[in-house]
Structures are given as C-alpha cells and as structure tokens.
Amino acid sequence: MKVLVLALLVCVAAAAATRFDDIDAISEEFDQDWDDWKTAHGKSYPTKKEEIKRRVIWENNLATIQHHNLQASLGKHSFTIGMNKFGDMLNSEFVEMMNGFVQPEEDEKIKSRQTFMPPLNVELPASVDWRTQGYVTPVKDQGQCGSCWAFSATGSLEGQTFRKTGKLPSLSEQNLVDCSQKQGNEGCNGGLMDAAFQYVATNGGIDSEASYPYVAKDQTCAYKVADNSATDSGFADIQSGNETALQAAVATVGPISIAIDASSILFQLYSSGVYVDPFCKNGPSDLDHGVLAVGYGTDSGKDFWIVKNSWAASWGEKGYIRMARNRNNQCGVATLPSYPLV
C-alpha cells in the first residue's frame, strides 16, 4: 500500500540572495542572447520591472549552466544542462508550477490494485526501447499546469492499449484533469497515476486526445461515452524500491508509470546524457513528478532508464531524459511504479 502525504516540493534556489529588481545585476554582454532566447520561446513580460527580474534569474541560471558544463567537460558529470524555456524561472517557482505528483489523502479511493509478479525463468534483455515498437505517442506538453500525473497515466495506458489491440491511441489528459476528483486527484494542483487508472476503471473508459483536447487548466468534466478510446480494469503496483522488479516490468509489460524527485535545478535545465544526481531523494514523500519509463539501457558503463517527460520535445533529449539505473533507486525511480491492467 502506498502511504504518501505530499505537497509540491520547493527547492532553495542557488541565487536566493540576488536582488531581482536590480538592473545593475544585468550584464550587457548577454543582451543579444537574451533577445534571441525571448524570441525563440515567445517570451514577453507585462512590465519592465518583471523583465528585469526574469533577466536576472535567467543570467543566474546561465551561470549555473556554464559552471556545470565546464565540470562535465572535465569528466565530473555524465550529463549536460542547457538554457531552455524554463530558464527565466527560479527553481522554487518551477517546482511549484510543473511538478504535480500527489497522493490522495484517502487511500480507500484506490480500490482496483494488484501486485506485479515478475515472470519466472525469463532472461531480461540488456536494453529495451518501446518507442521503436510502436508503444509510445509523441512527447506532449503539460504547459503551466501541475498535471504531470495525467500525462504519465495516459502514456502507460496508451502503451497497454497498443499491446492488447495493436493500435496506439492518443488519450486525453484533460479528461483526467477535469473528471478524476472523486478518486482523489486535484487537476492542475496535482494527482496520482493510480488514482487516474482507478478513474478509468470506474468510469468505463477515457476519451481520445482529439475529442477532448488539452487546455492546461481545470474545467468542468466533459467526458463523452461516444469518444471513449481506451479502458482498464484497474492497475498493478510494482514492488517498491526494487529496480530489478521495475526492469522486469518494463521489459515484459511495456511503458511503466513512475514518480521521481525532479526538484533539482539540474533536472529543470537538463539537456543530455545520463542524469546522475547524488542529491536526489527516493522516499515516497520526496517524489514530486510523474513520468513514464519507456525502456532502459547502458551507455559507457552507466546504466539508465529511458524516461518520457511532458514538458514538450524542446526539453532534454527531444522530451526525454536518461535517468541513472541501478544506483540505489536514485531519484525514486522504482519507489512507486505502476501500470494499468488492460
């Protein structure tokens, strides 16, 4: 049974002491880079004061990127970070807005639970990538809404639906955001993948993305039976903290919903490589972001999970991150994994 009382984590920003209204903190040498970045990401600000604040944060994050990547070039890190669309946000702001994995207070709302039993006498492959087998839809974008849990849940259900039917639907995250409150989810304020699977089982299905498009805000439930595109009978949890069991599930079942600690500025600005963060936490109460494990492998001796995120394809490795595997359940990748039963 999963026991977790979780609000969104807030990480202390490295530049907390900076005065964000101080125009003297801005370096003119980055003027063109700043303008190019704003243009690339469609950024504009309501006041000059707000733009100065965002520019100072952006330059602080740029300094973090330069320092980290210098160390990476010297072999001290196995991954790089880079300026992306989140570059003008404090880490605390980012975590509060984007990381929305929470556990319903009443666990009895989650009823249709089974436990995954790893198959016996099965030799697991050295690497798996379900993207190449048709199990995974293109990377989506949750926008400024803490609905990561919904994207993780649809990703896992899409994969299991393909496994059963040979057809890959794109399912509606907005359906889950708007309609699964009775199971304990809170829309853009957070939720849990298991509660999403429970909703689909109780509701008898979930609509397609095309029929119930994503708008990144809470709305009144508008599910239509006629647009139902997938269903499940419940879900299975995987033994908590056991990366071997998670590997077996990914290899034999398909994409698996997982929750992680994504509260670091390094995760916010991740660009490429195998993400090894020794400061990541892995306890149930430390997890703040729902994502999808779609495979695993090894790169230059470093084992990794292939993880699909929901921050658009412009983030990370075309919307994905390779997270450290077999490093004591780093970032909690194997703490609360599950998948729907289709």
- Determine whether 68 is an active site residue: no
Do residues 275 and 79 lie in contact, with contact meaning Cβ atoms separated by under 8 Å? yes
* Residue appearing with tokens 């300026």: 83
Tokens of residue 155, six digits:
């990703």
- The DSSP secondary-structure symbol of 138 reads P
Can you tell me the distance from the alpha carbon of 141 to that of 21, in angstroms, rounded to the nearest whole number? 31
Pairing mode of beta strands 113-115, 235-237: parallel
SS3 category, 258: strand
Which spans in the chain are helix H? Answer: 31-41, 48-73, 91-98, 148-165, 173-179, 193-203, 243-252, 265-268
Can you tell me the distance from the alpha carbon of 68 to that of 91, in angstroms, rounded to the nearest whole number? 16
Can you tell me the distance from the alpha carbon of 188 to that of 97, in angstroms, rounded to the nearest whole number? 9
Q: Which of 60, 289, 329, 331 is catalytic?
A: 289
CA distances from 284 to 16, 241, 329 (A): 27, 10, 12
Do residues 93 and 99 lie in contact, with contact meaning Cβ atoms separated by under 8 Å? no
- Determine whether 309 is an active site residue: yes
Can you tell me the distance from the alpha carbon of 332 to that of 288, in angstroms, rounded to the nearest whole number? 10
Dihedral angle computed from the Cα positions of residues 306, 332, 88 and 216, in that order, rounded to the nearest 10 degrees: 80
Tokens of residue 340, six digits:
């729907």
- Determine whether 329 is an active site residue: no
Mutual angle of helices 31-41 and 48-73, in 10-degree steps: 100
Do residues 260 and 305 lie in contact, with contact meaning Cβ atoms separated by under 8 Å? no
* Residue appearing with tokens 């990914």: 250
* Residue appearing with tokens 């972001």: 289
Tokens of residue 44, six digits:
């504009």
Which residue type sits at 71?
Answer: Q
Q: Which of 99, 309, 329, 331 is catalytic?
A: 309
Q: Which of 11, 148, 188, 331 is catalytic?
A: 148
Known catalytic residues are 148, 289, 309
